[in-house]
Amino acid sequence: MRTPTLDARTLVLAVAGVQLAAFAVASALGRPTLYVVFAVASAGVLGASAGRGAFGVVAALCGGTLLVALAYPLATLATFTTPGAVLDALARPDVQRTLYVSVYAPLLATLLATVLGVPLALLLRRGFTGRPVVEALVDLPLVVPHSVAGLAVLLAFGESGAFPTLPVLGAMPGLVLALAFVAAPYLVNGAREGFEAVDRDAERAARSLGASRFETFRRVTGPLAVRGVLSGAVLSWGRAVSEYGAVAVVAYNVTVFYPPAGERVQAMFGSVFVVHELDVNFESAVSVAVLLLLVCVAVFLAVRALTRETGRWT
């Protein structure tokens, strides 16, 4: 007699439901350690049930431990506050302005990184003399302490820098430049990987049929690489949203045109606002942090849904 099996979606929902229930019970008992042990152990059980032997169990335990380390802090943050406190935070005008700046400025930084970074990613994919040096320069912001990055941006583009008339310190252009500096590597690397995945034979076929380089890029290379470009753009935007060090140096508090008010207002960037709130009201800081987290999750899911409809993400 054949044993009935669960399909993948039902299994995922069942595992998620069990994990949520266990998390709720452990939180109600005030014993978070119990949930962490349960979550890691359940990953081992799933690994054993997959029939991959001892190696599968060890891999599941290691992977499960990492997933718990990634998800548990976020779950703890989200459940520390209440929906009412989050809505109260959302009703505050200063929080609304912070959310606006925290979405708007990273979007501008991502657009700047995309316009300048996609051509560079295409060149890196094709290869040229000195490519390792250029790749090292692209990746350098990933290892530079971001407070140092903020000082570098301030010195390079501030009053005595390359563009003396460009407002940088405490201004929106400076905020966008600081965010683009730390987020651009994610865009360039994601786009380059997308271009490298494109079949060269398809491009050669297009050229052999008389298409120019631009037509080949517009009709073949670009559409086939759009997944990598979008993936890099989402990572770049997310990195910009989470930036604190460079923003704290360059644009701690900026003046920005706020459409709902119809005028220019003073506003803090999200990560800076949360740190500022920690000195005033811990519970309020957690509520604002949860709002920022929800915005990031909503944008991430929306981008994934849009790319799935085109069939290019999966």
Q: Residue ranges per domain, the chain? A: 8-80, 87-307
Under CATH, to which class is 87-307 assigned? mainly alpha
The count of other CB atoms within 10 Å of the CB of residue 199 is 11
pLDDT of 271 higher than 50: yes
Give pLDDT tens digits for 140-189. 998 888 889 999 999 999 888 888 888 888 899 999 999 999 999 999 99
Residue 53's pLDDT is 79
Residue 275: which of 264, 289, 265 has the closest Cα?
A: 289
CA 135 to centroid of chain Cα atoms: 21
Residue 175's pLDDT is 93
Residue 172: which of 97, 230, 84 has the closest Cα?
A: 97
Give pLDDT tens digits for 90-106. 999 999 999 999 999 99
At residue 119, the 3 state secondary structure works out as helix
Tokens 């271009």 sit on residue: 195
Q: How far is residue 289's CA from residue 86's CA, in Å, rounded to a whole number?
A: 9
List Cα–Cα distances, 31 to 23, 36, 38, 69, 104, in angstroms: 10, 9, 11, 17, 40
Tokens 């390792």 sit on residue: 132
Give 313 or 128, the one with higher predicted confidence: 128
Please give the model's pTM, rounded to 2 decimal places: 0.83
CA 311 to centroid of chain Cα atoms: 21
Residue 152's pLDDT is 92
Q: Chain-wide mean pLDDT for the chain?
A: 88
For residue 17, report the phi and psi dihedrals to the nearest 5 degrees: -65, -45
pLDDT of 8 higher than 80: no
